Structure 1
Amino acid sequence: MFNFTFSLRDLEFFLLIVVRITCFIHTAPFFGMTNTPNRVKIGLGVLISALVYQTLTPVHPEYSTVLMYALYVLKEAVTGIIIGYSAAICVAILNFAGHLVDMEIGLSMVSLFDPVSRDSVTISGTYYQYTVLLMLMISGMYQYVLAAIIETFNLIPVSGAVFNSDKILNAMLTFLRDYLALGFRLCLPVFAAMLLLNAILGILAKVSPQLNMFAVGIQLKILLGLGVLFLTVGMMPGASTAILSEMKKMITLFAEAIT
């Protein structure tokens, strides 16, 4: 049941909730896309904050000056950004794998603007990213992401975040290890096909030196690379599961680092 009793201290508490959730939405994957209007992001943040406020016992921050309250606001903003960032960086694994694939098949010079990462990505990176994000949306990833930020209010009370630099560094190092491992696992089929093709072209260059293997090799690499990408569509559900597991792991590690 909703409680409509509202005081100035309650408003201060509610605004801190709004800051954390809105900053999270601006950095989280899918919700933070640049083609999503800012009004929608802010409106969604306020709506979720109003629902979360009804489930929490107000803990009014103690402060004597406006500057101290501004520090509480800054702390909540950083908390929301860190939690959203921990989910968003997992999408970068797909861009990394796509970049490696395009370097192998000769399409690394072709780039597109990605509204999710707000950066230029390669064709294969875009393919990996949107395919996996679509599967994650179907599987309910957005529900987990929203549930994660709501659950942080039980783990990290409003104005109660304590930033542990050692745990944050450990979380970043863990992500770096998984970033490389998952990225190379995604592009391994293309790597194997390109290795086999390069071996065949090397043998043909020795057998028939008069053939222009450079011109032939570029076309064969593109055709074979695109063919392998088409044949490995079946591995995308497994990739989306791995990305979702990594996202859960990173959100947990970063949330524990600021507890």
Structure 2
Amino acid sequence: MVTILENYPAFLLVFMRITAFFVTLPLFSYRNIPNTHKIGFSFFLAYIMFISLEPPAIEIDSQYFILILKEALFGLIIGFCAYFILAAVQIAGSFIDFQMGFAIANVIDPQTGAQSPLIGQFLYTLSLLLMISLNAHHLLLDGVFYSYQFVPIDQLFLPLGEENIIEFIVQTFNSMFIIAFQMSIPVVGSLFLVDIALGIVARTVPQLNIFVVGLPLKIGVSFIMLILVMGALFLLMQQLFETMTYTIRGLMELLGGVGNEPS
């Protein structure tokens, strides 16, 4: 077994990929997690992967700095891919908030520090808890471990300009918005029917102040529908975790050149 001191350039490359992976990875990249804990966890995980992978001997030369940039870019891309797949939950929540009237009230997302919708942050928190309960975060760690089978340490460049990679990313965005639409359509559809009913009432009973009655009615209907469809939302979240895993694997295959070989 090769020690770190005998092949420390390769260990630094492994450590760079895992650290960059944790920068954008959901749950592991939260701002309320101390940076010392992130770096320490990345170091010990990199050590475990280093002694398990037995990487080739790498020397520090002019190509080594290119390898460092490649490892950092690859880790950021894979972590961001997992993040924007899981962001479908927040997009679904923003659809619901817009129809409920909660779009004017936002909360701070602890991961990005930006403002996010109320229902979107609520559903996103539930999705993270479900991911932990299903051990789906272990699949993310397995993904970064098996990424060395697709993109080895000594690979110099990432084929980011390939047409099939761009097409794969577009299809991933498409599937993310489809899942977000599926998660939000029960509540949004019911609120659309409430709007139609309020419009009919406004025309038939003009003495009734619809603006006073409509907002609490839509909020009440939204919470009732959220309670009724919560089980279906959890099933869609499980499907989202599967999509996230397959997307990360497919992107690693394309970046490693597996999907770029001519048929």
TM-score range normalised by the length of the shorter chain: over 0.9
Amino acid in the other structure paired with 2:189: A
- Give the corresponding residue for 1:229: 226
Q: Tell me how far 1:240 sits from its aligned partner.
A: 1.9
Q: Secondary structure at the match of 2:30?
A: coil
Counterpart among 36, 40, 55 of residue 43 in structure 1: 40
8 Å contact from structure 2 (residues 100, 218) kept in 1: yes
Note if contact 1:175-1:250 (Cα within 8 Å) is conserved in structure 2: yes
Q: CA RMSD in A?
A: 1.6
Q: Distance in 2 between matches of 1:247 and 1:101?
A: 23
- Which residue identity lines up with residue 34 of structure 2 in the other structure? P
Report the secondary structure of 1:81's partner residue.
helix
Residue number in structure 2 paired with 1:129: 124
Q: For residue 156 of structure 1, what is the aligned residue in structure 2?
A: 151
8 Å contact kept, 1:132–1:239: no
- CA offsets 1:60-106 (integer angstroms, 9 cap, x no match): 335534xx322211111001111111111112101111101000010
How many angstroms apart in 2 are the aligned matches of 1:81 and 1:32? Answer: 11
- What is the TM-score with the length of structure 1 in the denominator? 0.92
The aligned residue for residue 249 of structure 1 is 246
Q: Is the 8 A contact 2:94 2:117 kept in 1?
A: yes
Question: What is the rounded CA distance, in whole Å, between the counterparts of 1:58 and 1:131 in structure 2?
Answer: 39
Q: Distance in 1 between matches of 2:137 and 2:103?
A: 31
**CA distance 1:84–1:37, change in 2 (3 Å):** same
Q: Match for residue 112 of structure 1?
A: 107
Alignment of 1:43-82 (within 5 A): 43-61=40-58, 64-65=61-62, 68-82=63-77
- TM-score normalized with structure 2 length: 0.91
Q: Is the 8 A contact 1:162 1:258 kept in 2?
A: yes
SS in 2 for 1:108: helix
Which sits farther off after the overlay, 166-175 or 87-96?
A: 166-175
Partner Cα separation in structure 2 for residue 4 and residue 181 of structure 1: 47
Does the aligned pair in 2 maintain the 1:76–1:159 contact within 8 Å?
no
What SS does structure 1 have at the residue aligned with 2:32?
coil
1:131, CA displacement in angstroms? 0.7
Corresponding position of 1:187: 184
Confirm or deny that 1:258 pairs with 2:255: yes
Q: Partners in 2 of 1:253 and 1:119 — Cα distance? A: 29
Gaps of 5+ in 1: none
Residue 34 of structure 1 aligns to a residue whose secondary structure is: coil
Give the direction of change, closer, same or farther, for the CA distance of 1:224–1:61 in structure 2 (3 Å limit). same
Q: 1:60 aligns to what SS in structure 2?
A: coil
Partner of 1:18: 15
Distance 1:234 1:142 in 2: 21
> Aligned partner of 2:173: which letter?
L
Residue aligning to 2:164: 167
Deviations 1:136-195 (A, max 9, x none): 110001110000000001121103153242233122201221122111111111112112
Residue 176 (structure 2) pairs with residue 198 (structure 1)? no
Preserved CA contact (<8 Å) 2:2 2:54: no
Q: Secondary structure at the match of 2:87?
A: helix
Work out the CA distance in 1 between the residues paired with 2:55 and 2:226. Answer: 52
Aligned partner letter, 1:218: L
Is the contact made by 1:132 and 1:236 (CA closer than 8 Å) also made in structure 2?
no
Native 8 Å contact 2:96 2:184 kept in 1: yes
Going from structure 1 to structure 2, the CA distance change for 1:200 and 1:64 (only over 3 Å counts) comes to closer
The Cα shift of 1:16 comes to: 0.4
The residue number in structure 2 matching 1:219 is 216
Gaps of 5+ in 2: 257-263
SS at match of 2:111: coil
Same amino acid, percent of matched pairs: 26
Give me the whole-angstrom Cα distance separating, in 1, the residues matched to 2:213 and 2:54: 69
